[in-house]
Structure 1
Amino acid sequence: MKHKWLEWAKQLQSIAQAGLTYSKDVYDLERFEIIRNMSVEILTQYTNMDSKNIKELFANETGYTTPKVDIRAVIFRGNKILMVRENNDGDWSLPGGWADIGLTPSEVAVNEVKEESGFDVKAIKLIAVLDKKCHPHPPSPFHVYKMFIQCEIIGGKPQVGIETNGIDFFAENELPSLSIARNTESQIQLAFKHLHNPQEPVYFD
Structure 2
Amino acid sequence: MARIEHFNNPNAPKPNSIVVAVTVFVQDEQGRVLLIRRTDNGLWALPGGAQDFGEYIAETAVRETREETGIEIEVTGVVGIYTNPNHLVEYSDGEVRQQFSICFRAGYVSGETMTSDESSAVSWVSRDELADFSIHPSMRLRLEHGFERRGEPYIG
Aligned to 1:29: none
Q: Quote the offset at 1:3 in angstroms.
A: 4.2
SS of alignment partner, residue 173 of structure 1: helix
List aligned pairs for 1:125-140, cutoff 5 A.
Answer: 125-133=77-85, 137=87, 140=90
**What TM-score comes out, normalization by structure 1 length?**
0.61
Q: Quote the offset at 1:138 in angstroms.
A: 5.6
**Over 3 Å off, 4+ runs:** 2-7, 137-140
List aligned pairs for 1:134-173, cutoff 5 A.
Answer: 137=87, 140=90, 141-173=96-128
1:6–1:94: structure 2 CA closer, same or farther, 3 Å change rule? same
SS of alignment partner, residue 158 of structure 1: coil
1:90–1:5: structure 2 CA closer, same or farther, 3 Å change rule? closer
SS of alignment partner, residue 148 of structure 1: strand
Aligned to 1:108: 60
Q: Relative contact order (alpha carbons < 8 A, sep ≥ 6): 1 or 2 greater? A: 2
Q: What's the C-alpha RMSD, in Å, of the aligned pairs? A: 2.2
Q: Quote the offset at 1:147 in angstroms.
A: 0.3
Q: Quote the offset at 1:139 in angstroms.
A: 5.5
Is residue 2:151 matched to residue 1:204? no
- Counterparts of 2:142 and 2:62, CA distance in 1: 20
SS of alignment partner, residue 142 of structure 1: strand
1:142–1:89: structure 2 CA closer, same or farther, 3 Å change rule? closer
Is residue 2:32 matched to residue 1:80? yes
Q: Quote the offset at 1:132 in angstroms.
A: 3.0
- Counterparts of 1:100 and 1:128, CA distance in 2: 20
Is residue 2:121 matched to residue 1:177? no
Structure with bigger strand share is 2
- Counterparts of 1:108 and 1:131, CA distance in 2: 18
Q: Does the aligned pair in 1 maintain the 2:19–2:100 contact within 8 Å?
A: yes
Q: Does the aligned pair in 1 maintain the 2:79–2:142 contact within 8 Å?
A: no
Q: Quote the offset at 1:76 in angstroms.
A: 0.8
